Amino acid sequence: MYQLEEESEADWWEVEALYDLCFSPGRTALSSYRLRDGVPTVAALCLTLRADGVLVAAIRYWPIEVGGEDALLLGPVAVHPTHQGEGLGGLLINESLTEARRLGWERVLLVGDLPYYRRFGFEKRANVIMPPPTNPDRVLGFALKAGAWDHVGGPVTKVTAA
């Protein structure tokens, strides 16, 4: 039996361990992590999935700006290797995107593989500029509201405290 819950503060290090297992500890050197450093997550969208109390999958979101417009940065999303291929990553993505829309967010950005994320509605965002050394072919966006990406482009920047 699976339990889907909002990530709690107590889950933080267990989720980090899952990310290290799935992506390697060097993942924090990626440019997307510079956008997350020192910025709180969007807690309502950070989810954990447990099987009989054991963490098997997790997803996180962070606030960013694209050309001065608010957006969400999806990632990382990870599924424990013993549960990959069961559709759990898709479950987390779909549930969190639905909640993001309900909360009034308009657009989501991620760095990932188009063949995988296309099924959720993500498209290449050629006019969005991630910090280097990001491969521009992996910069993908999803509109939570029709037209949300129309006329939105430019550099992706970190959200700073007001």
Which residues, in sequence order, are CB contacts of 122 under 8 Å at separation 6+?
A: 108, 110, 112, 114, 140, 141, 142
Task: Determine the pLDDT at residue 24.
Answer: 74
Cα gap 142→148, rounded to integer Å = 9
Cα gap 19→37, rounded to integer Å = 16
Task: Determine the pLDDT at residue 5.
Answer: 98
Task: Determine the pLDDT at residue 161.
Answer: 60
Which sequence spans correspond to the domains of the chain?
Answer: 2-158
Q: What is the CATH number of domain 2-158?
A: 3.40.630.30
Handedness of CA 23, 78, 107, 7 (dihedral sign): negative
Task: Determine the pLDDT at residue 28.
Answer: 73
Give every residue of the chain whose pLDDT is below 70, as ranges: 25, 161-162
Cα gap 95→113, rounded to integer Å = 20
Task: Determine the pLDDT at residue 95.
Answer: 98
Task: Determine the pLDDT at residue 160.
Answer: 78
Task: Determine the pLDDT at residue 32.
Answer: 85
